[in-house]
Structure 1
Amino acid sequence: MKRLLNLQPSRFSRVLLGLLPLALILLVYLVASDLRLAANPDDKLLPSLAQMGDAISRMALEPNRRTGEYIFWVDTFSSLQRLLLGVLIAASLGLVIGLLTGSLPLFGAGFSPLLTILSLIPPLALLPVLFIVFGLGELSKVALIAIGITPFIARDIQRRAQEIPVEQLIKAQTLGANTLQVMIRVLLPQLMPRLLDAVRLSLGAGWLFLIAAEAIASTDGLGYRIFLVRRYMAMDVIIPYVAWITLLAFVLDQLLAWFSRRLYPWHGKGGV
């Protein structure tokens, strides 16, 4: 008899088991919504699927009477633009800082303590400073995302660089490679898949900083819309927006995983 510890689900079973908790949550919500609406048809706390569908349909498929824009898609585009730009800046800075501090001992000794201190500063505490310095426009929102996740990515890349066997560096130098060549030809190719992993892990924090910035000072965006309609208790808009953000985050995560498998098939399979 196999122990539970050793049981491995098949691919189909894995998908089924993954969907089961989601189905249970949906079932509980539907039952609770039906009970509340039966007691009070005007209840706004737990709207039905039909009510949420109607609300999102108006925002996604009907142009705004004042601006002529499709609000749902404008919010989505604005938020994705800010998030992707902030993550791109953070990934670039994190890679450079992590590579330098992880491969150059002198550089690491000088900047590692500073990097550790910066990683301990709550990024949301800097939001008022960013608004004062950069204004209430796009730059402050992108800067918050970049500042918030760059230290995490940099420290992860630094650690990964330090884990690369020193024998590889010695061999490259024995063959005549200088410092820059070792960093570009030996370290960088091995750090790129780790960078994608670090970006995947930091996406959740990136969404948090984005929504916080949009909620405080913005005229569009998914976070802005959620905090705008909360004053009306418009749960038929808030819940679909939260679900949409979750779906977008999942799709971005899977895209990064797909790129990692395609570009670096050796990563995670015992390769160095």
Structure 2
Amino acid sequence: MRRIINVKPDPRSLALLGLAPFVGLLGLYVASSAVRLAANPGDKLLPPLSAMASTLSRLALEADARTGQMVFWADTAASLQRLGLAIAASVIIAITVGTILGLVPWAKALGNPLIAAISLIPPLALLPILFIVFGLDELSKVVLIAIGVAPFMIRDLALRIEQMPYELLIKAQTMGASTWQIIVRIVLPQMLPRVIDALRFSIGPAWLFLIAAEAIAATNGLGYRIFLVRRYLAMDVILPYVVWITLLAFAMDFALRLLSARLFPWARISTS
């Protein structure tokens, strides 16, 4: 008797099964919107797809009368710039600090409690402090994302370094390798795929911190626009922006996964 846990879908069925929930949700939204609009043509909670498409077309293709910019793309560029700077800073900090904590016992004893404590602080609780210290400009938003993302990546990287076969380090030292050579030739080549994996898991929280920061103190950005129009119940703006943020996050995750597979194919083989 074949058990369901042993039945694997073929590639075509796999694609259809992955697409089915999205089609179902879209159909549910269209039906719910039609019901609400039939009862109240002025309802704003669930606007029809045509209204959202019209609004998105206006924001993406028509220049704003006040700024002369296409609002949708200006918001996207501002958010991606903040997110990119924060992620780059987080990766650099994570690789540097995580490697030291994972390799140097004294550094581990000194730094692990601090990193653990920082990782347990809700980053959004620090937002007022960051605004006071760094001002309301871009730096405070970048720092918020880095505080929310970097500690997790540091702890993950340090833990994975500790789990490396210690025999590798012993052999390298026996052959006369210095600490720097061990880091560059042994540790980092094995840990970079793990850094990319940790970054993939951090994309969602990074977007969360970005949207929160933009909602409180910004003059552009995807989060800023969502919270600006909420007072008008402009769901024809909010819903497309939420979908767009989701697509951007998915594209970032896909790009990182593709980068890892292209640069480190051996990592997928070793974990499969």
The two structures have a TM-score, normalised by structure 1, of 0.98
Cα deviation 1:37-76 (Å, max 9, x = unaligned) = 1111111000000000011111000100111110000000
Equivalence for 1:86: 86
Runs of 4+ in 1 over 4 A off after TM superposition: none
Aligned to 2:194, the other structure's residue is in SS state: helix
Please state if 1:25 is matched with 2:25.
yes
SS of structure 2 residue aligned to 1:270: helix
Q: CA RMSD in A?
A: 1.0
Letter in 2 for 1:139: L
- Distance in 2, Cα, partners of 1:138 & 1:110: 32
Which amino acid is the alignment partner of residue 206 of structure 2? G
Provide the residue aligned with 1:120 in structure 2. Answer: 120
1:180-199 CA-partner distances (Å, limit 9, x unpaired)? 11111100110000000000
Q: How does 1:45-124 map to 2 (within 5 A)?
A: 45-124=45-124
Q: Secondary structure at the match of 1:37?
A: helix
Q: Partners in 1 of 2:92 and 2:14 — Cα distance? A: 35
What is the aligned partner in structure 1 of residue 257 from structure 2?
257
The AA in structure 2 aligned to 1:103 is L
What are the residue-to-residue correspondences of 1:1-272 with 2, within 5 Å?
1-270=1-270
Tell me the alpha carbon deviations over residues 152-187 of structure 1, each in whole angstroms, 9 at most, x when there is no partner. 000000011011100111111111101111111100
> Per-residue deviation at 1:271?
6.8
TM-superposed CA distance for 1:16, in Å, is: 0.8
Distance 2:135 2:118 in 1: 22
| Overall identity of the aligned pairs, in % | 56
Deviation per residue, 1:189-215 (Å, 9 max, x gap): 100000000000001000000000000
Give the distance between the partners of 2:104 and 2:17, measured in 1 at CA. Answer: 46
CA displacement, residues 10-49 of structure 1 (integer Å, 9 cap, x when unaligned): 1221111111111111110000001111111111000000
**1:268 CA displacement:** 2.5
Q: Distance in 1 between matches of 2:268 and 2:171?
A: 24
- Please give the alpha-carbon distance, in whole angstroms, between the structure 2 residues aligned to 1:107 and 1:246: 38
CA distance, structure 2, for counterparts of residue 14 and residue 224 of structure 1? 37
Stretches of structure 1 that go unaligned for 5 or more consecutive residues are none
TM-score normalised over the length of structure 2:
0.98
Q: Does the CA-based 8 Å contact 2:86-2:143 persist in structure 1?
A: yes
- The number of residue pairs the alignment matches comes to 272
Check the 8 A contact 2:261/2:268 in 1, yes or no. no
| Structure 2 gap ranges (5+) | none
Give, in whole Å, the separation in 2 of the partners of 1:239 and 1:33: 13
Aligned AA (2:101):
T
